[in-house]
Amino acid sequence: MAKQKKKLYALLENKKYGFNLPLTETIKIGKREYKIILKEDEKYGTYILWKNRRYPVEISLSRQNKFDILFNYVCYSFTIETPFSLKRKQYLDKTKGPVENEVIKAPMPGKVIEVLVREGDNINRGEPLLILEAMKMQNEINSPVNGIVTSVNVGSETSVIKDDILLEIRII
């Protein structure tokens, strides 16, 4: 809220990092404050200089309050929340209830070689769902959940692009 816009939180799954506003370019560890320097140059590209070490950074997504930061080659997906939006989130998580559908999307562009399941099939976590040929590799797409296949949107020889919905599973 405007009046108490004194703090922001960076949320990463269940972890929460709080930062006081106005945001300083330092991080405090124990009693010492360490300066963070964000820089870009010809030799290294964009990086953060912290405690005399350079860390490569890239911003792979910046959309509204969502940021995907590639920090030292590891990708972190943050949402930035205010104290009020954090409370709202907790309230909504309670009322929305658990996610019931798992949507399986193409992790990369490619061609479906074979679909191994049919609508209505019971499947277990880790079970292969389909084979996607991409970059000359046959990749097995496995189920991340236990459930029932509710829809299959592709067949063999279907070409897909990244994030195309391949099939949907109702979680049980």
d(CA 88, CA 45): 38
Tell me the closest approach of the beta carbon of residue 36 to other proteins, in angstroms. 6
**Residues between 113 and 152 that touch other proteins (CB under 8 A):** 113-114, 116, 131, 134-139
Q: Which span sits near other proteins by CB under 8 A: 48-56, 97-105, 146-154? A: 48-56
d(CA 70, CA 56): 8
DSSP secondary structure code for residue 24 in this structure: P
90 phi and psi angles, rounded to 5 deg: -65, -40
99 binds other proteins (CB under 8 A): no
d(CA 119, CA 153): 10
100 binds other proteins (CB under 8 A): no
d(CA 68, CA 66): 7
Q: Which span sits near other proteins by CB under 8 A: 2-10, 97-105, 146-154? A: 2-10
The first and second tokens of residue 120, run together, are: 């209505």
Map residue 135 onto helix, strand or coil: coil
Residues in contact with other proteins by the rule CB under 8 A:
1-3, 5, 8, 10, 12, 15, 17, 19, 21-23, 25, 27, 29, 36, 38, 43-46, 48, 50, 54-59, 62, 64-65, 67, 69-76, 78-82, 84-85, 87-89, 91-92, 96, 107-109, 113-114, 116, 131, 134-139, 161
